[in-house]
Amino acid sequence: MYRKRGSSVRYENGTFVRISECGVATEEGALFTCAPDPDRRADPFDAELPVAEITAAVQRSAVHCERLVLIDGIAEHQYGERTWSERTQRLHLALTHDRQRVLLDQASFDVTSIERIAAALARCDAERDAPAHLRLGANVSAALLPWLVGRVPPDVRLLQTAGGIDGKGNDIVEAEGEWPNWYRPSYRVRPERAPLNLRLESARTDIDPDLPLAIALLAPVSGLALRVLVEGRSSVYPATVVVTRILAAANERIWYPYGAGSFGAEMML
Amino acid sequence: MRFAIATREELWARGRLIEQRLSHGEAFEEERGITASDARDDLLVAACDAAMEDLRRCVVPDVRIRLVAESRLDGVTSTIVASLGAHSVVTDPARIAADLVLLRRAALEPEAEAQPLPLVWKNGSAAVLLHEAIGHPAEQNVPPREWPAWLQVEHPLALRRASFRDVPLLRMTTLVARQQRAPFALPERRIEVLLVDGGAYDPLTDMVTVRIGAADLIEGGEVRGVAPFTFARPRTAISLLGASGDPIRYPGVICSREGQELVVGSHAPLMVTA
């Protein structure tokens, strides 16, 4: 039996929502059952969300904020005898300029990248072919990693990163190719085996800093063809990049909420 | 203002229950925002339980069936999503028998690829096209485009939310399209749309996209099933050539916006597009 008690505050396009709930989920044979937990109550949680700071960072460039969702929450989990807790922060931002839309998802409220991406979007020129070689920003490569499962390019390794606890109370272990851990994004969802906290390793970690940089996603990733905003030395443009080979991946990684968790790193294609 | 809801949901596969969910909660809208919890309203849960008893009679062994009984302060709704392979219909106990006939027909193996031919939107499926091309732009305050004078579309908007956790959004409740003295001629070579798998409208690009799940290619007196394909046009480039008859209920619009899935009643006459 899995039990969860959680509270959060969410900002969604102008409205604050504070939610407290407790749930319980069981699996008996093929049957998955879940319901609110009648025996427990969750205390309310509140936190200051940096709406003004993020809005100001966007407004410094002439782009439109189409969607802003911020979530800060706490949760206590129990599976069998094991209990654990976590604090979660999520940011989802969609910025538009002309007919382009940039999508940002991150696990912190850091505005550094937001400001840079908004400024780049404001300077966006017409569509171009993707350059033969370019860099992927950590926020872009993180979205790609879940799509590499089962089709890892040559000369790199795709691994599950050890650390933390999975949806059935097990330690998340280092793994490659087979995924022993369970992903449970909500008590209302049947847990399934999935690679958690993916990272990509390459023997090469040196990345040419002069290459154009895919600075942000222009569409959700749904395969190995990425719609990205590319920042070159003197111009910014939309392009479609087809990932067939990853030449290098940096060792500095940031965790992003893609798939069942993904460590983005600067990569060179 | 208090909002309260209870939902029971069951998923049946091969005649066996494989997932069962109960959800309940309430939300209060206050000056500082919405405060929500999973508080239980026993009357709403009891109403869900009663509706679910009726829904379970609709389980059939060869179709994946999702039953949803939802009780709010303003009433109870019962929804069935029946799926075969990649296709699904959204139905209710009164209409499931007829809708399963359509679903089974749609699940037949396709024999041909789609061709650039006029589309004849059967079974009320034009309601999905108009849902994307007229309903969503209205929800998002996008200026309307001009449509043929023979077309009348009602799409009342109301503040709706999927659960107590959600922010109410201005959403369609239903879409009913009618024609008055519309021209109508069936093209000799045509594709007849039977079932739609989904659709989208992007206000940024003004693009309307409808994924056609099941269709027939009609040519030379032959009827051949067509593989799934995508209808994608700028909203201003959609050309309605004609329509015939009264609105037909389309079995299948669960509309997702901002992550909130809501059923939208959908009706349209037989319609032809270029």
pLDDT at B252 over 80: no
Q: Token digits for B13?
A: 């596969």
Q: Token digits for A170?
A: 């097990």
Report chain B's C-alpha Rg in angstroms: 20
Q: What is the pLDDT of residues A181-193, one digit of tens each?
A: 999 999 999 999 9
Residue A32 sits at the chain B interface (C-beta within 8 Å): yes
Interface of B with A (CB under 8 A): 16-25, 27, 32-38, 40, 165-167, 204-205, 258
pLDDT computed for residue A201 by the predictor: 97
Of A104, A121, A117, A37, the residue nearest A70 (C-alpha): A104
| CB contact at 8 A, B112 and B224 | yes
pLDDT band at A30 (very low <50, low <70, confident <90, very high): very high
Alpha-carbon span B194 to B187, nearest angstrom: 16
Long-range contacts of A77-80 (CB under 8 A, 24+ apart): A77/A2, A77/A3, A77/A4, A77/A165, A77/A169, A78/A2, A78/A3, A78/A4, A78/A169, A79/A1, A79/A2, A79/A3, A79/A167, A79/A168, A79/A169, A80/A1, A80/A169
> Within the 61-90 window of chain A, which residues sit less than 8 Å (CB to CB) from chain B?
66-67
Residues of B in contact with A32 (CB under 8 A): 18-20
pLDDT at A200 over 90: yes
pLDDT at B107 over 90: no
Alpha-carbon span A244 to B65, nearest angstrom: 40
Q: What is the pLDDT of residues B167-179, one digit of tens each?
A: 999 999 999 999 9
pLDDT computed for residue B251 by the predictor: 87
Q: Could A23 and B38 be called an inter-chain contact, meaning their C-beta atoms sit closer than 8 Å?
A: yes
Residues of B in contact with A18 (CB under 8 A): 33-36
Q: Could A16 and B33 be called an inter-chain contact, meaning their C-beta atoms sit closer than 8 Å?
A: yes
Average pLDDT of the residues of chain B: 94
pLDDT computed for residue B203 by the predictor: 95
Q: What is the ipTM of this complex?
A: 0.90
Alpha-carbon span B109 to B18, nearest angstrom: 27
Instruction: Write the single-letter amino acid at B227.
Output: A
Could you say which of B18, B23, B34 has the minimum Cβ distance to residue A31? B18
Global confidence as pTM: 0.92
Average pLDDT of the residues of chain A: 96
- Give, as one character, the DSSP assignment of residue B235: G
Span B56-68, mean pLDDT?
95
Residue A20 sits at the chain B interface (C-beta within 8 Å): yes
Q: Could A99 and B37 be called an inter-chain contact, meaning their C-beta atoms sit closer than 8 Å?
A: no
Please state, in angstroms and as integers, the Cα–Cα distance from residue B132 to each residue in A198, B232, B242, B256, B272, following that order: 37, 11, 18, 11, 16
Q: What is the pLDDT of residues B202-239, one digit of tens each?
A: 999 999 999 998 999 999 889 999 999 999 999 999 99
Of B271, B227, B251, the residue nearest B134 (C-alpha): B271
Preferred mutation among A4, A5, A20, A21 to probe B, highest tally of B CBs within 10 A:
A21
Instruction: Write the single-letter amino acid at A21.
Output: E
Residue at token pair 């171009």 = A128
- Percent of chain A predicted with pLDDT > 70: 100
Instruction: Write the single-letter amino acid at B66.
Output: R
Give the CA dihedral B139, B145, B150, B153, nearest 10 degrees. 0
pLDDT computed for residue B105 by the predictor: 86
Span B89-94, mean pLDDT?
91
Residue A101 sits at the chain B interface (C-beta within 8 Å): yes
Span A170-190, mean pLDDT?
97
pLDDT at A121 over 80: yes
Span A165-193, mean pLDDT?
97
pLDDT computed for residue B17 by the predictor: 97
| CB contact at 8 A, A241 and A214 | yes
pLDDT at B108 over 90: no
